[in-house]
Structure 1
């Protein structure tokens, strides 16, 4: 698959571009949309903001604020939604949603006490307790089958169908995860026959973080996943790894690489700040984002150069107060908790070094984290602590900073000290590769519109990406 170059800076559409892009009416189907702050919210938001510059009229079907996880909303983000976008919000009325969330909240502590639990089972009747555990597991899986937000998709069908017919929608776009949006897009495609573009931000049934203990649920999701990729008029994916997943499901034509990006309106890069050398990590902590290697690296710096360590400020913006992975962190690491998007942009701007880490094995497949693109927009050096793969390749290709292995705290410490020494010597420079601008939202909207024109006109060309390099 070949990437298309889109390396120009953001400018208003030219008269030629306006003539090329026919005025289209598009329906964006996405569970996450501002005020949701999860990564999946920003892809459709960028389209809603910049497609109208190309003559598009935009309608959106999304969820209500109460459907989003606690602590993952920012009311100020709704100011980003253009007044030209018509947004319809439908609540997620999943009656079992509360159970699945309770089960997820108990999972970590349950795994930690598994040995004690087995002992209690043997003492007090393992068979009866095993039956109760099996029932709970089945109920939890039922709550998220085929997707935990599927009831939202079902409730949205009639309103979305009305919007398609009433406003003579030309093309339907669905963004996932969650994958209920694709189920809604599939239903609208079958009923109306309108062209439909499905955008995969993560794999569904090939996702190692999504597992089913009941085979009937797993087979059901696999059947739906195949139906989505085969019935969609085009499939957008974030990278080649996801493209391979789509091909494995039986789709080879009109699969387009459309990576994450950034909105340049969110960032106003400045010169490097003064003061303590500040390193910032933005995001959550979980299995593939285990900060232990960072904690160990900071301990090594403390041992080898206490004065340098005392001149360093480290901020982890995102993890909540009760995050178990905060255990073992050096006392001076700052955990401000989840920040609003504007606050986070300011924190990135006030930093000297931005940190991203993926604690995965070399054999695991993983995509480039979406936060890397916002790091690019902040124009600050990046330290990627990761196995070799898409993340390390992108950091090197765009000369964004340095790469260190996620299982080598000493290498991480050396890299941090090299950035620190460059800062103290006045040699720390912001990334300025021309390729960064290819990931800006206006440029991505242009390439997305080209895909729409091909789908609506029935033309076909070699699959493309929104930005990057020729391959």
Structure 2
């Protein structure tokens, strides 16, 4: 029914280009059929991967269904006139399947109208967004526990702020390291309030699941973090797109889940800068990630320039 309706709509309004955006990736099948019927140019936009996304393994598909997904993914990738992905890791993955042009257009940031609040007077580490059970960086809690035990001033100044849903497993893990008294759980807040937290916190935490499937995941909040002028402390899998972006923009530091000593040295360095009143990020090249700039790139693809 969708194809029939859209085929008529395309003909009535002389539409030349169709964009399908998934997931759900079934939308790409509609785009592929419209390309055949209406002769339109077709851009397939993948906001997430298809068969290699983390939750795909949890769908309990039969072998036949798995092969069907792989076959449809390949057909879409080899049929679209243009492919858009949100990460370089996904682009490299798709290049193994298709020779069609692939553009990387990440998520981005808008300028905020929220006024800049005064910085926290405590050494505050803030995580904005959901902190699920699989995002549980025990190495971070271990390092913070060691610093609390080794430095009385650090123990007096430390605060952990969680803005959004936090897994009970994560809270239990924090408690096992004796850090519960440092936790301030704010649950859900408005977007403007979340931006306030981003701008006033001393350090912004970005935690990703430590797995092969999450290397290509770039959470949208990273881009808001980057324009907050606060250093980002991120943990995730090796060779991830998050790591590349943070290093490219000089907006913070990135660690793997086993980087105990490097993480500890960085936190000691950051705490020293906090005590001196000099802790801040020194970002470079952020303009390319503004939504205005990203939209201009997209418009050129649509116009086939």
Correspondence for 1:294: 140
Structure 1 pair 309–189 and aligned structure 2 pair: CA distance change class (3 A): farther
Distance (whole Å) between structure 1 residues aligned to residue 138 and residue 53 of structure 2? 24
Do residues 262 (structure 1) and 109 (structure 2) align?
yes
The CA RMSD measured in Å over matched residues stands at 2.7
Distance (whole Å) between structure 2 residues aligned to residue 271 and residue 449 of structure 1? 36
Decide which of 286, 295, 299 is 1:445's aligned counterpart.
Answer: 295
The count of residues paired between Structure 1 and Structure 2 equals: 296
By how many angstroms is 1:233 displaced?
A: 1.3
Do residues 278 (structure 1) and 124 (structure 2) align?
yes
Distance (whole Å) between structure 2 residues aligned to residue 350 and residue 184 of structure 1? 46
Correspondence for 2:85: 237
Per-residue deviation, residues 391-438 of structure 1 (Å, max 9, x unmatched): 2232222211223332234433332232222122021133331x1111
Structure 1 pair 164–335 and aligned structure 2 pair: CA distance change class (3 A): farther
Structure 1 pair 354–162 and aligned structure 2 pair: CA distance change class (3 A): farther
Correspondence for 1:462: none
Do residues 206 (structure 1) and 57 (structure 2) align?
no
TM-score after normalising by structure 2: 0.85
> Do 1:383 and 1:415's aligned partners in 2 also have CA atoms closer than 8 Å?
no
Correspondence for 2:225: 375
By how many angstroms is 1:348 displaced?
A: 0.9
- Structure 2 residue ranges without an equivalent (≥5): none
TM-score after normalising by structure 1: 0.57
Structure 1 pair 221–412 and aligned structure 2 pair: CA distance change class (3 A): same
Name whichever of 438-447 and 266-275 sits farther off. 266-275
Per-residue deviation, residues 268-302 of structure 1 (Å, max 9, x unmatched): 57376142222211233346522322222221222
Per-residue deviation, residues 139-174 of structure 1 (Å, max 9, x unmatched): xxxxxxxxxxxxxxx7x5566556544544332222
> Do 2:19 and 2:45's aligned partners in 1 also have CA atoms closer than 8 Å?
yes
SS in 1 for 2:55: coil
Distance (whole Å) between structure 1 residues aligned to residue 65 and residue 288 of structure 2? 40
> Do 1:357 and 1:385's aligned partners in 2 also have CA atoms closer than 8 Å?
yes
SS in 2 for 1:356: strand
Correspondence for 1:394: 245
Distance (whole Å) between structure 2 residues aligned to residue 193 and residue 269 of structure 1? 49
Matches within 5 A, 1:95-106: none
Query: Highest CA radius of gyration, 1 or 2?
Result: 1
Distance (whole Å) between structure 2 residues aligned to residue 366 and residue 287 of structure 1? 18
Distance (whole Å) between structure 2 residues aligned to residue 339 and residue 385 of structure 1? 24
Structure 1 pair 243–287 and aligned structure 2 pair: CA distance change class (3 A): farther
SS in 2 for 1:183: helix
Distance (whole Å) between structure 2 residues aligned to residue 160 and residue 348 of structure 1? 43
Per-residue deviation, residues 321-345 of structure 1 (Å, max 9, x unmatched): x643332223132232233333322
Higher relative contact order (CA 8 A, sep 6+): 1
Do residues 428 (structure 1) and 279 (structure 2) align?
yes
By how many angstroms is 1:365 displaced?
A: 6.4
Decide which of 373, 381, 403 is 2:254's aligned counterpart.
Answer: 403
Distance (whole Å) between structure 2 residues aligned to residue 383 and residue 339 of structure 1? 22
> Do 2:206 and 2:234's aligned partners in 1 also have CA atoms closer than 8 Å?
yes
- Structure 1 residue ranges without an equivalent (≥5): 1-153, 460-471
Name whichever of 412-421 and 157-166 sits farther off. 157-166
Per-residue deviation, residues 110-145 of structure 1 (Å, max 9, x unmatched): xxxxxxxxxxxxxxxxxxxxxxxxxxxxxxxxxxxx
Structure 1 pair 190–315 and aligned structure 2 pair: CA distance change class (3 A): farther
Distance (whole Å) between structure 2 residues aligned to residue 338 and residue 373 of structure 1? 20
By how many angstroms is 1:216 displaced?
A: 1.5
> Do 1:276 and 1:311's aligned partners in 2 also have CA atoms closer than 8 Å?
yes
Distance (whole Å) between structure 1 residues aligned to residue 113 and residue 195 of structure 2? 6
SS in 1 for 2:95: helix
